[in-house]
């Protein structure tokens, strides 16, 4: 494969874009080389500016769950475009999408649309504080909740990739009410409650996709919810990644745990910038104009994004691809493990439905510390070999792979071939 045009665009992009990208993980910092520039996509495939075609396991980091440019989504968006792009006023489609979202989450009576997952989390945390009258929030090490100051500590995602413990420009005062616990360790949460009496709630990725698909062990989430209820604190579920992807009702439906506040994004926009936060009536009545918690957005409920979300979720519900996802995910997991054994390469795979991630380690990965035992040099080699063999992966050890319902049996066979070739190359690193 040649990447001449991507290399040229990278150099050109450096002039007016920071690192030639608009999101750090796209810079390929942890895997080396120049970032790829994408020209188009359709179904399960994505094509770069050099004409190289890949099976896409990034899927815009999750939103393209029914594949790229699905005809029903394109039709819905095209219809909306004919009426206008933005009005700064309410539209019928906001009501339609709100009903779909609320119906999917039994404890969600009302929802407020925003423009991104980060916005959803900012508002969800503010809402928890408004409802409880308390200030402190507990988050888990390795969980990424967007780039807001108060939660940009001990984060995963791109921060983990860049080995950054936080971010410059975040004042100490911004994080003074943020407490850090260890994922899958309830005692670490209880210790904070023993030390503080002003904890509003705990925010958590039910499935930690930003440290590489880390799954709650045993009854961790249920026990966490029960404990928080006993303390009068709220459980805030960051389902920006898992909402409608793990199950139509999110990871909560699959795991049998109901959050007090749910934050959503990605899939609900069908590829357009959308976020949302929702809860039962007594909590959402705190939000303006009903209550004293102020939150607003000029482009919130954008008509084009609403149309994309309605079309995506309607088609997703019709397809109900979750059994298919589990089958395909299990197949790819088995291929990864068996191939690694074949070439004597240390590898563990974490998977949850249509999300999976291989770690180049012998250590079971149940928290951020264990995730960091993965050999990132091996991952970088593996990444580029997968690229060269036609599979587009997230350029970070700590980002989940995603599946779409557009993936075919032929795609799976080609992924298997690519994995074999890539791990063979990785195995040769052990001999150097």
How far apart (Å, rounded) are the C-alpha atoms in residues 281 and 109?
A: 6
- Provide the 10 A C-beta neighbour count for residue 180: 15
207 touches 352 (CB < 8 A) = yes
DSSP states of 107-127 as a string?
A: T--EEEEESSHHHHHHHHHHH
Report d(CA 111, CA 132) in Å as an integer: 19
Number of H helices, E strands in the chain: 14, 14
Contacts of 140 (CB under 8 A, 6+ apart): 154, 180, 181, 182, 183, 204, 205, 208, 368
Query: From CA 54, how far away is CA 387, in angstroms rounded?
Result: 7
Task: Identify the DSSP state of 148.
Answer: -
DSSP code of residue 281: H
Tokens encoding 152: 């940009």
Contact 339, 349 (CB under 8 A): no
Identify whether the C-beta of residue 98 lies closer than 8 Å to the C-beta of residue 306. no
**In residues, how long is the chain?**
432
Contact 59, 31 (CB under 8 A): no
Rounded CA gap, 129 and 233, in Å? 10
Tokens of 370: 């264990």
* Chain centroid, CA 404 distance in Å: 14
The residues, any chain, with a CB within 8 Å of residue 51's CB and separated by 6 or more, are none
SS3 category, 178: strand
Residue 62, burial from CB neighbour count under 10 angstroms (0-12, 13-18, 19+): buried
Catalytically active residues, by annotation: 144, 238, 266
Contact 288, 294 (CB under 8 A): yes
């Amino acid at each position: 494969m040649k990447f001449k045009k991507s290399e040229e665009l990278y150099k050109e992009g450096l002039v007016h874009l920071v690192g030639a990208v608009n999101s750090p993980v796209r810079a390929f910092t942890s895997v080396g080389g120049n970032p790829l520039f994408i020209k188009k996509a359709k179904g399960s495939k994505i094509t770069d500016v050099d004409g190289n075609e890949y099976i896409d396991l990034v899927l815009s980091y999750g939103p393209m769950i029914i594949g790229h440019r699905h005809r029903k989504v394109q039709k819905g968006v095209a219809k909306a475009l004919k009426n206008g792009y933005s009005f700064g006023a309410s539209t019928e489609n906001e009501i339609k999408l709100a009903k779909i979202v609320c119906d999917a989450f039994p404890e969600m009576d009302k929802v407020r649309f925003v423009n991104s997952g980060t916005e959803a989390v900012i508002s969800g945390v503010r809402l928890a504080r408004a409802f409880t009258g308390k200030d402190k929030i507990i988050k888990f090490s390795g969980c990424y909740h967007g780039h807001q100051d108060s939660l940009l500590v001990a984060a995963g995602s791109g921060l983990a990739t860049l080995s950054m413990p936080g971010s410059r420009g975040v004042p100490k005062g911004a994080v003074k009410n943020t407490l850090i616990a260890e994922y899958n360790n309830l005692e670490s949460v209880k210790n904070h409650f023993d030390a503080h009496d002003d904890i509003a709630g705990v925010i958590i990725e039910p499935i930690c996709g930003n440290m590489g698909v880390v799954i709650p062990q045993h009854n961790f989430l249920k026990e966490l919810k029960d404990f928080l209820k006993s303390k009068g604190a709220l459980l805030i579920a960051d389902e920006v990644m898992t909402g409608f992807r793990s199950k139509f009702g999110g990871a909560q439906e699959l795991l049998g745990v109901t959050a007090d506040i749910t934050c959503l994004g990605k899939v609900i926009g069908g590829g357009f910038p959308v976020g949302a936060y929702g809860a039962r009536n007594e909590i959402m009545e705190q939000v303006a104009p009903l209550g004293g918690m102020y939150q607003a957005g000029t482009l919130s409920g954008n008509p084009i994004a609403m149309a994309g979300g309605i079309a995506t979720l309607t088609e997703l519900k019709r397809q109900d691809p979750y059994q298919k996802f589990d089958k395909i995910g299990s197949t790819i997991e088995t291929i990864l493990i068996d191939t690694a054994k074949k070439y004597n390469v240390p590898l563990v795979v974490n998977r949850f439905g249509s999300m999976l991630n291989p770690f180049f380690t012998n250590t079971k990965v149940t928290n951020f510390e264990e995730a960091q035992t993965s050999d990132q040099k091996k991952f970088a080699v593996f990444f580029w070999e997968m690229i060269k063999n036609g599979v587009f992966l997230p350029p970070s050890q700590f980002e989940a792979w995603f599946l779409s319902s557009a993936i075919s049996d032929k795609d799976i066979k080609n992924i298997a071939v690519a994995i074999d070739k890539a791990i063979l190359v990785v195995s040769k690193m052990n001999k150097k």
